[in-house]
Amino acid sequence: MNIRNTFLLLLGFAILASCQVEQPHIADQNFNADWLFYKGDAEGAEATAFPDAEWRKLDLPHDWAIEGPFDGVKNNARTGGLPVHGTGWYRKHFTVEKAMQGKQVSIEFDGAMDDAHVWLNGQQVGNRPYGYIGFELDLTPYIKFGEENVLAVRLQPQDLAMRWYPGAGIYRNVRIKYNNPVHIPQWGTFVTTPEISAEKAVVKIRTTVKNAGQTSQVTLKTSLKDKNGAEVASAAEEVNISGEKLAETEQVLEVANPELWELETPTLYKVVSEIIQNGNVLDVYETPFGIRTIEFTPNDGFLLNGKRVLLKGVCMHHDLGALGSAFNYRARERQMEIMKSMGVNALRTSHNPPEPEWLEICDKMGILVQVEAFDEWKKGKVINGYNQYFDEWHEPDLRDMVRRDRNHPSVIMWSLGNEILEQGVADGWQLTKHLNNIVKDEDTTRPTTAGFNYYPAPFKNKLAFEIDVVGMNYWPIEYKEIKEKYPDMIVYGSETSSQTSSRGVYHLPIDPLPQRHTGHVSSYDVIVGPPWAYPPDAEWDALEAEPAALGEFIWTGFDYLGEPTPYGGRDNSTHGYWNDDWPSRSSYFAPVDLCGFPKDRYYLYQSQWTEEPMVHVLPHWNWNGMEGQNIPVFAYTNCEEVELFVNGKSYGKKVKGKDLTEIPAEFHSYPKGTYKTKYRLSWEVPYQPGVLKVIAYKNGEATIQKEIETAGKPAKVLVEADRNEISADGSDLSFLTVKLTDENGNLCPLSDNLIEFEITGAGTLVGVCNGNQRDLSSFQEPRQQAFNGLCQAIIKSSNEPGEIIVKVSSEGLENTEIKLTTK
């Protein structure tokens, strides 16, 4: 070997040595598998030796309440009529390899409902009351390396703790983390972009380094990667950190010609932070972020990257329909896809912090988010509400919410609370100021907000002046007045409409008031709801009249479990529902039902919020016995004109914006019959069975059409999957839509036949649903009655690639099956 070769060989060793990872950083590990569960009091279950062999085996995330059964006597209808309260225990036996000795070991819960107490090997390691907040607990003092450990978690959600269905259990993801003594702790980076131009973006990275060992000197290497993973900038800095301390550093990097995070092209970058000591990489921590500017202006609304974006938002509770609150990535992603297809560009996480994946999905899909902290502060709305924890926990809960979520480009506002009762209290502004300061201490790059419903109380007591952007719940007619009184105030509809309806239900006569006790609400969408409700149309008029307002967040995007207003939605704080209204158990508010199937109102929003030509017509066309009688027909379109036909006969064209439709209900300041909407086209046509058809015109050209045919008797069951191929990862889902049709494939809009499912192969059935707010059957059995011709089955993949066959049958009908592939 010559000298040159020897040199190269030595150089090679040196390079290898410098890259060698002597103490490999172990990425956070999913800790969801193989838990044991017991529902009820299990005295002493925190002890290592507690006999748990008979406990039920399950994987997380898990929601025990969705397993049912529904019971409107024992369980409050307000929270869904499901057993959300009581004690639940989870235990997990696990072994940590001896080689891990010396690591810092911690466990991270994205949320546990509710009042979690956690023990490791019989020793209490922590507790966290608020079920919606993520938290990490240090296990290091009690962990045994090379031996079995037992982790025990006790949850004690209370009855009447929320005004909606919270679910119960360890319902979000759990991870175990193994860190070297010097590492970047949970939420240890904060990435901001103080300067953005076409040429460059300045990226400021604040990094916290923790040392749980002796004094150390380490290098913090920070690199920026573009969407393809290519490094675009990097910096390294020496950090001196003595034992048991946190050190904070700030590095400033530049990205040339940055690609902005836009709603249509939500480009993401990534910060990769490495802690290096003597050539060993001790920690690698990744922070996705986006480069974008946000501005909230008193006169020009909300600007993203300098361009006005009208907020077309929805409020969302966290449950996932038939899956309850048990988090599933695909189920959440599908919700967002459905919302986007309706034209939504913003979400409000009413009334609590979401799971982290919610924001990851919005970052990727280009959806703006308002993250909300609380539904209550010191003053409670329900008997066992968050107010009982507020004094002790509001600060850590609020700080943690902001710390966890402040790197997401999708997050544009922090809401301190929804309809908090301090609005009506003389010194309510003081607490608001305190909470506002906490948020500002963690993040000054986004405004604070809150949703107010007691107009003008929070203006009189000055509370509204302690936040940056003022959210109004159900006061569209006041946007103008507020702007006149306070021209510098920035205002928007934090909650709007609260219209209610049931998919496929149409009541005639159309007048809503006599329908109060049918148990459903008509999809003509002419208001039956709480007294503060109003049709979407009235919000659009208000936003047009006051264009400075930022936009709106409708209540809600998806129907959710609990709060079945107007049937039992009101709480007298002792039993919370009107007995005669049971079995209503889920909400009626949204434009899509609990399955995610569009109601007619979905198309009304689409007609206002999207541009791709669309037209929709309602009601169904099965009015047996009403031949010759007039039926109101509504059409929704984003085109200019619509022509209506019955069996080929034209009933004339109507022009959007010119031909008005009367809303035959009283609401807000509109006495009965005085509000006429320009957003809906309508006709009265004598019913005759056959084909109801609409053609929409743009620039005089027929652009798009839709038709509904009178259906005969149910003859067949049809099934469609939202995705026929899913990942074989044990959590991916395929959502099946089952339709009852007549011989010719027309949807039978009044049929409710029982559908049975039989699943074989590489997957399982994890939920069934039909969107009927009054259905008390199980969400988990392999059968479901259809509701107005439709129902849903949700299939989950196993870890084995293969095929899933789902047989779908209904007595007396032609049955079917569908094949799904998992890869």
Give me the residues that bind ligand GAL (CB under 6 A), please.
163, 418-419, 453, 473, 495, 498, 530, 555, 563, 565
Q: How far is the CB of 143 from ligand GAL (least distance, A)?
A: 42
- For residue 552, how far is the Cα from the chain centroid? 17
Identify the DSSP state of 730. S
ω into 51 cis (within 30 of 0)? no
**Whole-angstrom distance, CA of residue 682 vs CA of residue 697:** 16
Q: Residue 372 or residue 709: which is nearer to ligand GAL going by CB?
A: 372
- For residue 18, how far is the Cα from the chain centroid? 45
Q: Identify the bridge partners of residue 783 per DSSP, sorted by sequence position.
A: 756
Catalytic annotation, pick one of 355, 376, 422, 495: 495
Asked if 419 is an active-site residue, the reply is yes
What are the tokens at 419? 């309809």
Catalytic annotation, pick one of 46, 274, 355, 419: 419
What are the tokens at 555? 């209540």
Q: How far is the CB of 119 from ligand GAL (least distance, A)?
A: 35
Closest of 643, 647, 735 to residue 691, by C-alpha: 647
Q: How far is the CB of 569 from ligand GAL (least distance, A)?
A: 7
Q: Residue 72 or residue 417: which is nearer to ligand GAL going by CB?
A: 417
Q: Please give the residue whose beta carbon sits closest to ligand GAL in the complex.
A: 498
3-class secondary-structure state, position 87: coil
Q: How far is the CB of 532 from ligand GAL (least distance, A)?
A: 6
**Whole-angstrom distance, CA of residue 223 vs CA of residue 253:** 9
Q: Residue 418 or residue 734: which is nearer to ligand GAL going by CB?
A: 418
Q: How far is the CB of 311 from ligand GAL (least distance, A)?
A: 17
> How many C-beta atoms surround the C-beta of residue 712 within 10 A?
14
Q: How far is the CB of 774 from ligand GAL (least distance, A)?
A: 18
Is residue 99 exposed (0-12), middle (13-18) or buried (19+ Cβ within 10 Å)?
Answer: exposed
Q: Which residues contact 290 (CB under 8 A, 6 or more apart)?
A: 260, 261, 266, 267, 268, 269, 363, 408, 409, 410
Closest of 367, 360, 420 to residue 390, by C-alpha: 420
Closest of 488, 420, 431, 489 to residue 457, by C-alpha: 420
| Alpha helix segments (H runs only) across 227-342 | 329-342
Q: How far is the CB of 530 from ligand GAL (least distance, A)?
A: 5
Report which residue type is found at 557: G
Q: Residue 397 or residue 571: which is nearer to ligand GAL going by CB?
A: 571
Q: What angle do CA 368, 369, 373 make, to 5 degrees?
A: 170
Q: How far is the CB of 513 from ligand GAL (least distance, A)?
A: 18
β-strands 491-496, 469-473 pairing: parallel
Question: For 226-372, where are the E strands, in sequence order?
Answer: 231-241, 245-256, 269-277, 280-289, 294-297, 301-304, 307-308, 311-315, 346-348, 368-372
Q: Residue 287 or residue 556: which is nearer to ligand GAL going by CB?
A: 556
Q: Identify the bridge partners of residue 793 per DSSP, sorted by sequence position.
A: 736, 768
Specify whether the CB–CB gap between 177 and 28 falls below 8 A: yes
Asked if 803 is an active-site residue, the reply is no
Closest of 140, 95, 149, 86 to residue 115, by C-alpha: 86
Q: How far is the CB of 454 from ligand GAL (least distance, A)?
A: 10
Q: Residue 418 or residue 703: which is nearer to ligand GAL going by CB?
A: 418
Q: Residue 46 or residue 563: which is nearer to ligand GAL going by CB?
A: 563
Rg of the chain (C-alpha set) = 28
Catalytic residues, by residue number, are 419, 495
